[in-house]
Amino acid sequence: MIGRMLLRWELQQSLRSYWFLANAGVFVVGGLLLMVFGQTDVSVLGYRGFARALAALVQLALFFVPLMALFPSTAAIAGDRELGTLDYLLAQPVTRGEVYSGKWAGVTAAMVLSLSLAFAVTGSIAAAKGVPTGLVAALLGLTVLLAMAFVSAGMWISAAAASRTRAVSVGLTVWLVLVALGSLGLMSAFVRWGLPAGWLQAWALLNPVEAYRLAAVAILSPELELLGPAGAALLERFGRTGLVMGATGSMLGWAVVGYAAGRWVFGRAGA
């Protein structure tokens, strides 16, 4: 009951913020542009062309969705603590666990809503062009999992950080390491020091961004050049279903472990 009240409140707050609206807007516009570019492919290649356009949407998602998730989640606890509103909330007959889970669920629900809106627009066009709606729904599911992984990580950072600025800074560093530098930096390191290929494959599965990319591409278009060397090796080793399940499990693991760790840190703060 209390958790539901806090969820609704956090959701309303998130939906009122310009950050969510702007990101949902960028995502929709980006998706539409990709659809328009996909038209050329469609006329020649039919359904596979749109799947490629959806793969480009995946590319957009793996840069944007972690950012969309990290900004509100890193501010969720640290920001309220800084404003002094968190103490007032915790002074009510609520538990720290209820407050944490309410905030987590609220930010996640806002993410699900904005992603659903974006996918509804782009997906309906794709569906009209013959892409199975199940494919679009699967992609939405994976994107929601990616968002959940980063909401959990962001809330954990927020619970542990001394200030909002520090929480957002750490969140951006995590984004930079996992999204921007992750694949390129690691690939360079592997080439430079000749690390075993298994490490690169493990990194590809353990990094939620890479896991999302692999699962999405494997669902949409399991072509070697889109999966990359680590993904291709994983595909060969585990097969398509195994790769999708492993990658999905990795994102789910991030979401669950991040949530549990953040809740533990937040609970300890009052001890």
Partner 1 sequence: MINANRLSKSYGDHVVLRELGLQVDRGERVAILGLNGAGKTTLFRCLLGLTGFEGDLQVGGHLAGPHGREARRLIGYVPQQPPRFDLTLDGFIELFSALRGGSAPDVRKRLDGLGLSVREHGRKSLRDLSGGMLQKAVLGIALGAEAPVLLLDEPTANLDAGSRREFLAALGRIDPATTLLFASHRLSDVEALADRLLVLSEGRFVYDGRPGQLWRLAGGIELRLMVPSDHVEALARMLESRSGVRFVRANGTGVLVRVEDGRELDLLLAVREAGIPLLDFRTHPPALEEVMAHLSEAE
Interface residue list for partner 1 (CB under 8 A): 2, 5, 9, 13, 16, 83-85, 87-96, 267, 270-271
Task: Give me the least distance between CB of 15 and partner 1, in Å please.
Answer: 12
Q: Is the Cβ of residue 3 or residue 49 nearer to partner 1 in the bound state?
A: 3
| Minimum separation from the CB atom of position 227 to partner 1 (A) | 44
Nearest-angstrom CA–CA distance, 98 and 264: 12
Cβ pair 125, 28 in contact under 8 A: no
Q: Tell the smallest beta-carbon distance from residue 42 to partner 1 (Å).
A: 45
List the structure tokens of 271. Answer: 């001890």
Give the nearer residue to partner 1 in terms of CB position, either 85 or 133.
85
Closest approach of partner 1 to the CB of residue 28, in Å? 25
* Minimum CB distance to partner 1 smaller for 83 or for 137: 83
Number of residues that make up the chain: 271
Contact 195, 189 (CB under 8 A): yes
Q: Which of 10, 3, 8, 164 is nearest to 82 (CA)?
A: 164
Among 260, 227, 221, CA closest to 46: 221
Minimum distance between the CB of residue 8 and partner 1, rounded to whole angstroms?
9
Q: How far apart are CA 110 and CA 13, in angstroms?
A: 9
Report the C-alpha gap between 111 and 255 in whole angstroms.
Answer: 14
Q: Which is nearer to partner 1, 41 or 82 (CB)?
A: 82
Nearer to partner 1, 89 or 252 (CB): 89
